[in-house]
Chains A and B, each alone.
Chain A
């Protein structure tokens, strides 16, 4: 390993990156765009579900219940109808996701001790969402029911007593149960995986396609010098993008950052070596920019998206797939990022994940260097 050769390659690569608008776009704009795309696009929260109401009574009590729906963040009453077919149409046409029907004897039944029935009609095309909506609906109605019950008890003279049994729940790490806080740290990982492999997947293939590789390998430069010289600038870019994405996560998406910067950058550095080496590997094997690009997309982006725990909890996957996720490097990085952001875990606490990433980094960097032979045939 000679520094003058490594430096020559690194310097040349930097000049080429700075001169190529496309790569500058990928370096600076793409991470931010992806952050916003995934940060907003991939949300598991349901907010302002459109509700259609059919109040058959129109009493003080029925309006109180509807106000509870209106007041909740989860619902938005967008339509009030006075007959059933119109409610059906609102759901059929997709204008409303749920229809609430209050019976004509609602307040009367409440006054006499019930039970009063409120009907909810839900569009269950997407069963997951339907379940969530039903849960929210029941919660609103149950809350209202309890209030009515307390009111009734108080009037009967049982002053001050609340419900006899209740769960005092505390949600840790993500106190507001915001799915964005859960998703955005993972988005940082996805962005790094895409940018990292994407950038380097081009670097060797480009030299083959332009015919500059033959000249390059006719010099005394060693494969290790070529790889290190080429990856060094991209490593710097990767670290810059880590900082960029983290800033967007904290400043824009308001994700709490409870850990230390050193933990974040140590994990990111290891993950970068993994994805950069992987991109380099595909570039060497693919020999064309297109092939290298596609291979890197399929092997990094898809597993990072589906199998890293970014969206879907690994614990809920079938066992064979759970085992398979152990060879998905993004899995460890996603878990590291979530812990650093939300739990504020320290380097020491994250030792197993860091170790796994280090193993991947070492193995892939070695593989990439080995496979890059200074031969034409």
Chain B
């Protein structure tokens, strides 16, 4: 697969479980060497989509191609070209590190010198040198995660699917993991990754925000931040915060208000006008204003903005 070539393509992909529509007409495409992020809360349909793309679930409707193969018709060909790492650790706990690697080597037909070299690479990458004979069950979360990654890429697949790869892993291991992912993408691997950590989404070249089975926004992180916000963003710190939220929610010109840590994030139509009118409104209610200033939106702001609008308008908005 050459750089820039289309590696994953989904057209109106749908998955229903009974009456429940888990994935609702999803369209997306990725190119080789790209880190494509799938961002959304738990239950939004991220894992279901990834499983369809890996040929593990049959789509109810629509079509998807991975490495050029139809996931519904040629799942076996798809599986030869992908690596898949699950949210839940899914290697064999009662096998040693080395036995797990050899097992997947056997399944992917990686043997001899190549297997030795790649096992060496994995052990180095995962920091597992000298622990080849340790029982996998005894490894810590970060080790397990990197070992799972090593097994998933043992056959050097052009496309890598990672489903919540960093859940339950300490921050240091998480950063190290993303460095590995970026290196792989640099080498031309398409990395399709789901996460619900907003800060991780910043590592992605492009992002799809998924909510209730639908893609609500798609673009680079910068594009999303600029395009998706319908107004300007202000940060407000005040005491008491609850009363402040009540006060600003009903204020004219405030489109949205939400608590972010110890501050409120407000989406307003006109930042200058809001900065002029809000202090007086708060003071009239006996609220002490500590700070009110414009900020650059984070992906979380984008996400909240997109999904609250959606809830307010019911499920019809698209």
Number of contacts between A and B (CB, 8 Å)? Answer: 78
Closest B residue to A7 using CB positions: B106
Contact B103 A11 (CB under 8 A): yes
How far, in whole Å, are A216 and B90 apart by their CA atoms in the complex? 9
Segment of A28-36, A56-64, A206-214 in the binding face: A206-214
Q: Which of B93-151 contact A (CB under 8 A)?
A: 93-95, 99, 102-109, 111, 151
Select B107's contact among A15, A16, A19, A219, beta carbons within 8 Å.
Answer: A219
Q: Across the interface, do A20 and B94 meet the contact criterion of CB distance under 8 Å?
A: yes
Q: Is B51 an interface residue (CB 8 A)?
A: yes
Q: Does B20 contact A (CB under 8 A)?
A: no
Instruction: Choose, from B52-60, B186-194, B251-259, the stretch at the interface.
Output: B52-60
A220 touches B58 (CB 8 A): no
Mark out the residues of chain A between 1 and 52 whose CB falls within 8 Å of any chain B CB in the assembled complex: 2, 4-5, 7-9, 11-12, 15-16, 19-20
Alpha-carbon gap, A8 to B106, bound state (A): 5
Q: Which of B74-82, B165-173, B276-284, B303-311 contacts A (4 or more CB under 8 A)?
A: B74-82
Q: In the complex where A8-B103, A219-B79 touch, is A16 in contact with B92 (Cβ < 8 A)?
A: yes
Cα–Cα distance between A7 and B103 once the two chains are bound (Å):
9
In Å, the complex CA distance between A9 and B105 comes to 11
Distance from A215 Cβ to chain B, minimum over Cβ atoms (Å)? 4
Residues of B within 8 A of A12 (CB): 92, 95, 99, 103
- The answer to whether A211 and B88 touch across the interface, beta carbons within 8 angstroms, is yes
Q: Does B65 count as interface, using CB distance less than 8 angstroms?
A: no
Report yes or no: A374 in contact with B95, Cβ–Cβ below 8 A: no
Q: Does A377 make an interface contact (CB < 8 A)? A: yes
Whether, in the assembled complex, A222 has its beta carbon less than 8 Å from a beta carbon of chain B, the answer is yes
> In whole angstroms, what is the CA distance A321 to B58 when docked?
44
In the complex, whether B38 has a CB less than 8 A from a CB of chain A is no
Whether the Cβ atoms of B56 and A19 lie closer than 8 Å is no
Q: Report if A156 contacts B (CB, 8 A).
A: no
Distance in angstroms from A270 CB to nearest chain B CB is 29
Known: A4-B111, A211-B86, A377-B58. A219 touches B104 (CB 8 A): yes
Interface centre among B51, B103, B106, by most chain A C-beta atoms within 10 angstroms, is: B106
Beta-carbon contact of B106 and A11 below 8 Å: yes
Chain B hits for A8, CB < 8 A = 102-107
Closest beta carbon of chain A to B164's beta carbon, Å? 13
Quick check: is A376 within 8 A (CB to CB) of the other chain?
A: yes
Q: List 23 A-B contacts (CB under 8 A).
A: A7-B106, A8-B106, A9-B106, A11-B102, A12-B95, A15-B95, A16-B94, A19-B94, A210-B92, A211-B90, A212-B90, A212-B92, A214-B56, A214-B90, A215-B86, A218-B56, A218-B79, A219-B79, A219-B108, A374-B55, A374-B75, A375-B56, A376-B56
- Closest A-B pairs by Cβ, 10 of them: A8-B106, A218-B84, A215-B90, A219-B107, A220-B79, A220-B80, A12-B103, A376-B56, A377-B57, A211-B90
A residues at B contact (CB < 8 Å) = 2, 4-5, 7-9, 11-12, 15-16, 19-20, 210-212, 214-222, 374-377
**Apart from the given pairs A9-B106, A218-B54, 17 other A-B contacts in the complex at a CB distance below 8 Å:** A4-B109, A7-B106, A8-B103, A8-B107, A20-B94, A210-B93, A211-B90, A212-B92, A214-B86, A215-B84, A217-B56, A218-B56, A218-B84, A221-B107, A222-B76, A374-B75, A376-B56
Give me the interface of B with A, judged by CB distance under 8 Å: 17, 51, 54-58, 75-76, 79-80, 82, 84, 86, 88-95, 99, 102-109, 111, 151
